[in-house]
Structure 1
Amino acid sequence: MERVVLFGPPGVGKGTQGGRLAAALGVPAISTGDLFRAHVRDKTELGNRLSALIASGDYVPDSVTNTMLAERLAEPDVARGFLLDGYPRTADQVAELDRLLALAGTSLDAVVLLAAPDEVLEERLLKRAADQGRSDDTPEVIRHRLALYHRETAPLVALYDAADLVLRVDGTGTPDEVHERLLAVIGLRERTPSS
């Protein structure tokens, strides 16, 4: 597996698991959220436009996200593969990813869906807000982000189910427990040294 999308609601652990899974696969982890936050942190022109959207929990417009992702996928370290976290989030983004991969003469290998109940996700996000001081993790914004995910992004799983790409993983438990489940579903457990 070289081209993987890590799917799931906010707070399910995509950031934590994405980095670990990408390392196990030997490919870069690409998080659109990290790319957005870097622009905001660096106070770029794009970052100034994005800061209000991120603070409110709204999605960044597809045109901006698609352009940023296309630029990242054109970088040399992605030639052998990637793990995407936070993309695609809309049907238009699914179509754009398909187009970019077709231009490169390749396709996705898997869509890994991490799942957990909303109450677990809310608890995790509130803890993250306290631990990391994330201004985009207030109770109101968390509820908005979860509702947006269920309305806009969760239905995309059906598109990937139709292509027989979805691997489902229980995202509850400790990070190590979830990581072991991910390795098992991807088929990497035997190649990954135990810690």
Structure 2
Amino acid sequence: MLNLVLFGPPGAGKGTQSEKLIEKYQLVHISTGDIFRAHIKNQTALGQQVSQIIADGNLVPDSITIAMLEEEINKNPQAQGFIFDGFPRTVAQAEALDKFLESINESITGVLALDVTEEELKQRIAKRQEVSGRADDAADKLTKRIEEYFNKTVHVLPYYEGQGKLSKINGIGDIDAIFQSLTTIIDSY
């Protein structure tokens, strides 16, 4: 089974590249952001809780995120693999994901980190907000999310680097060229 973590700050192109990778490798996409938005849209109890946390510009606690992630994986027993988008965001989440995958005799195959400058991120997200109107793309929330990434989330990379699973990819440039860089790495697995 091919289990990938697509890593990068908000606006790095994870969603765009995930779509292309899912199609090529027939993977199940697990985006914590999409899961949260679905719960919010359906106004579940969890969605209401998550809505307030996100509205405040904070990350959803590990316990909620991991429980939802396990639920999504268990919904897809016939999957050829998964692509994790926006997760893990902390070393504790990475350890919990490894532990859960180990319990079902799986593991992370590789971690693909999209490197994008902060200036490029701001430009991309400003464009994205014009199109999508996503509340989490508002300027104040965006600044907080980018800071959160560079202050906390980026520390997950050494965890996977220590396992020999990390590959860094230049996330600036032509979408198809970035995709080609990703597939070259994935095909080497």
TM-score bin (small chain): over 0.9
Change (3 A) 1:76 1:171: same
Counterparts of residues 38-57 of structure 1 (less than 5 Å): 38-57=38-57
**2:89 matches 1:89:** yes
Cα RMSD after superposing both structures = 1.5
Contact 1:30 1:85 in 2 (8 A): yes
**2:157 matches 1:157:** yes
Corresponding position of 1:35 = 35
**TM-score, length of structure 2 as denominator length:** 0.94
SS in 1 for 2:137: coil
Corresponding position of 1:145 = 145
Q: Distance in 1 between matches of 2:10 and 2:92?
A: 20
Corresponding position of 2:120 = 120
Corresponding position of 1:101 = 101
Contact 1:27 1:78 in 2 (8 A): no
Q: Distance in 1 between matches of 2:54 and 2:177?
A: 30
Percent of residue pairs identical: 38
**2:47 matches 1:8:** no
Contact 1:29 1:83 in 2 (8 A): yes
Tell me the number of residue pairs that the alignment of Structure 1 and Structure 2 aligns.
188
Corresponding position of 1:174 = 174
Contact 2:28 2:79 in 1 (8 A): no
**TM-score, length of structure 1 as denominator length:** 0.91
Contact 1:4 1:82 in 2 (8 A): yes
Deviations 1:60-107 (A, max 9, x none): 010100100011111235643111001111122111101111101121
Q: Distance in 1 between matches of 2:141 and 2:174?
A: 24
Contact 2:171 2:178 in 1 (8 A): yes
Corresponding position of 1:133 = 133
Q: Distance in 2 between matches of 1:141 and 1:182?
A: 29
Change (3 A) 1:174 1:53: farther
Structure 1: gaps of 5 or more residues: 189-195
Deviations 1:83-139 (A, max 9, x none): 100111112211110111110112111000011000100111111111111111111
SS in 1 for 2:135: coil
Contact 2:6 2:83 in 1 (8 A): yes
Q: Distance in 2 between matches of 1:119 and 1:56?
A: 23
AA partner of residue 62 (structure 1) = D
